[in-house]
Structure 1
């Protein structure tokens, strides 16, 4: 019986003395054919999501339910003091903030796991903490966990997160190459805004009597509904293109261009609608519109050049860039608010004027400017925006909708028009101009995503008194449905990478 010799190790042939070559490293446990190997990442993901999201959220809600059932005065809300096991006003705020952040993290993780944008789960989490779910299942717990005393600071965080988010949107729009655009790109951009805008305006005429707010008389409600249906969530779109490897394709570049042009025009129209809804005289509206145009020209001209020169010449450790950014965003928001235009437009203008590019495309001071902007927008996205989702959930009470009344036909009509306006409008336009039918459908499906941008528009319209709470809830459902159907529709169309197009911009970091 012959003994089996161990396998010979290859030897080095260089030098007078041959040295054995070290053996290849032993692979980690878990063979490719091991069925348990593929399940380990899933188990770890479930464990991480449970420990960081589910467990804290359940603990907080349970504590709120127990505290709300206590007969003592401690369950009536926060006070300035607070003894042992009693929350003061500050402690109550931090408890509410922890609940909001934990719910947003859990909702976003679940949404991503089922193939949806993270913003869908975060929106649902905000709605669940409001009267739509928690307020109906455990109203006393909601009243104890989120008393009026903590809503004001939460709203302040939400507003600051929104202005930083709109600054990021401005940076995304600034990254587009609008100069030298082809005629087809301009026509598709026009269709992506004009067709859904017209459909929304026409649908608003019979709905005005039942859903217009106290300031929604005249043309304000009609124009606002047109804006609401014409919006595309630019960050969500960019993230989807990146995930599907469509960013550098013809349909990807065209969809980004159309979303940038359409959203920019929609925000300008919304500014005029807000001025009209405020009850201003036509002369005042015209003066505000002229002032808005001058502010836009100021930011895109002298301010942009000043920031670019400072970014090119700045030296040292770059400690002043974050301060300049935050002060600039806040000052621009205050300026546009003083002019009768919404403060978010001022924040977006700072983003348009901020030195552009990506963190990898700049070096020295320019690179620091870019990285500071990325870090602050990332903070707004992960830490501050969940407070907006919660505040929005307090506004949009989905459970209060009377589906036996006009809410159901209004929802079905607006959902159909929203999809038709974005899918059929620019899709047919692109097909008539020579794009393949499948690519044209993919283009329309991409532009159908609305996401967080739509929620911001809804909140603005509700705060301005243009729409009532019922229409805010209906439009919220439309925004959720159109955003959720985008991914499955693209997978149904088998959106594979197509003919590469000239690179216009870098993919966005966040799916909002």
Structure 2
């Protein structure tokens, strides 16, 4: 068979298997389709399919096919992160800056500390967890931040499912997650600072700031139909600049989106683009992510590490949000709902972990453990939140 034919076989598998599991298995309550796609990516990777059927795995996922899938995955995740940046509503966060700052700070800071402690424990378990090019502080901070991440796009999907997205509590949660997203990418930029290329990075940031001023003027001046094309060009240029200077192309994709205003685009069209990216190309990213998993010689150690990280992540987020609730005098039950929703990981954490793996700050074993942690975290969300919402239905109608 030609590479094109094998590529199409891989694409058919990528879309067929998770859809059938999701639809026929009725997993939507605890595992939305996007989570099933992530799990399928893991199962199709070298640690599971590659071990069970090595010849078949090598046939379907040959180097040329993997390279082609990787190109699709790069663009998919760049567009996805760009949309996430556009959708950050910093104006609302600023209008409620005291509450948002306290809640977001504690919701990010406490699980980051818990995750950093877990990272130190991993370092004590052996050298297989830290990447070849990482300093110990980069590994500890990187894993700690991975435990603190909130997956804003998945959070939106889950709140839509729970019918609270447009309610006051849903809008508050979005504000908290938006502030955390800014902090997350800021910390990532610090972790990735390469002092041998600090001149390039400084040059990129100066050029980016100047270009942003020009872009914002241009976007206001051109017709709405042209903004999509200009935005995608801007995305590609920013991603290239960030990768060229050593920050990583996904940092550039986020920066490209965060300096753009959602009001420049039709909201339905923006929602539709996000939906279509998730539907059409993001499953390829999930498969590419699964191909990077590694169980090592002792798979049990990876599961143990994943369990440790999951406990640190969930416990840290709930503790941080409950402390915020006490400071801000929230209603009973409110902190539990907000904490469980904000601990959702999935996409953004996986993207974050991909960057750490690319830069060799973590190893494939740590990446696999973080991936399992993200899946477990997301699958816990709806079952934990739904009964709490049922007990206090009036909470979702309370004024913000």
1:377 aligns with 2:281: no
C-alpha distance in structure 2 between counterparts of 1:236 and 1:502, whole Å: 24
**Structure 2 vs 1, CA of residues 118 and 300 (structure 1 numbering), >3 Å: closer, same or farther?**
farther
Deviation at 1:189, TM superposition (A): 0.7
How many angstroms apart in 1 are the aligned matches of 2:326 and 2:80?
34
Please say if residues 167 and 351 of structure 1, whose CA atoms lie closer than 8 Å, have aligned partners that are also in contact. yes
User: What do the CA deviations read for 1:283-311 (whole angstroms, capped 9, x no partner)?
Assistant: x44x5664565466446644234312324
Q: Distance in 1 between matches of 2:143 and 2:86?
A: 26
Contact 2:164 2:396 in 1 (8 A): no
Counting only pairs closer than 5 Å after superposition, residues 208-223 of structure 1 correspond to structure 2 as 208=123, 209-210=126-127, 211-223=129-141
2:159 corresponds to 1:241? yes
Specify which structure has the higher proportion of helix: 2
Aligned to 1:335: 241
TM-score, L = length of structure 2: 0.89
Matches within 5 A, 1:212-291: 212-276=130-194, 280-281=195-196, 284-285=197-198, 287=199, 290-291=202-203
Cα RMSD after superposing both structures? 2.6
Shift of 1:376: 4.0
Residues 245, 497 of structure 1: 8 Å contact kept: no
User: Which fold has the larger relative contact order, with Cα–Cα distance below 8 Å and residues 6 or more apart in sequence?
Assistant: 2
Contact 1:299 1:350 in 2 (8 A): no
Q: How much does 1:263 deviate?
A: 1.6
Matched-pair contact (CA < 8 Å) for 2:204–2:241: no
Classify the secondary structure of the residue corresponding to 1:232.
coil
Instruction: Give 1:409-424 correspondences, 5 Å limit.
Output: 409-424=304-319
User: What's the CA shift string for 1:85-105, capped at 9, x where partnerless?
Assistant: xx2122222222222222343
Normalised by the size of structure 1, how large is the TM-score?
Answer: 0.71
1:239-291 deviations in Å (ceiling 9; x for gaps): 22222222244432332111111121111111221224xxx34xx44x56645
Superposition pairs of residues 96-107 of structure 1, within 5 angstroms? 96-107=10-21
Preserved CA contact (<8 Å) 1:300 1:353: yes
Is 1:481 matched up with 2:396? no
User: What's the CA shift for 1:152?
Assistant: 0.6
Question: 3-state DSSP class of the match of 1:476?
Answer: helix
- Counterpart of 1:40 in structure 2 is none
Q: Does the C-alpha gap of structure 1 residues 412 and 161 become closer, same or farther in structure 2, counting only changes over 3 Å?
A: same
Q: Which runs of 5+ in 2 are unaligned?
A: none
Question: Equivalent residue of 1:213, what SS?
Answer: coil
Question: CA 1:433 to 1:355, structure 2 compared with 1: closer, same or farther past 3 Å?
Answer: closer
Deviation at 1:234, TM superposition (A): 0.2
Matches within 5 A, 1:117-266: 117-174=32-89, 177-208=92-123, 209-210=126-127, 211-266=129-184
Q: How does 1:379-458 map to 2 (within 5 A)?
A: 379-398=276-295, 401-403=298-300, 406-458=301-353
Report the CA distance shift for 1:241/1:378 in structure 2 as closer, same or farther (over 3 A): closer
Are residues 400 and 259 of structure 1, via their aligned partners in 2, closer, same or farther at CA, if it must alter by over 3 Å?
farther
Distance 1:191 1:225 in 2: 17
Q: Deviations along 1:308-357, whole A, 9 cap, x unmatched?
A: 2324xx6xxx3x44432322211111112122212112222332244414
**2: CA distance between counterparts of 1:407 and 1:371?**
42
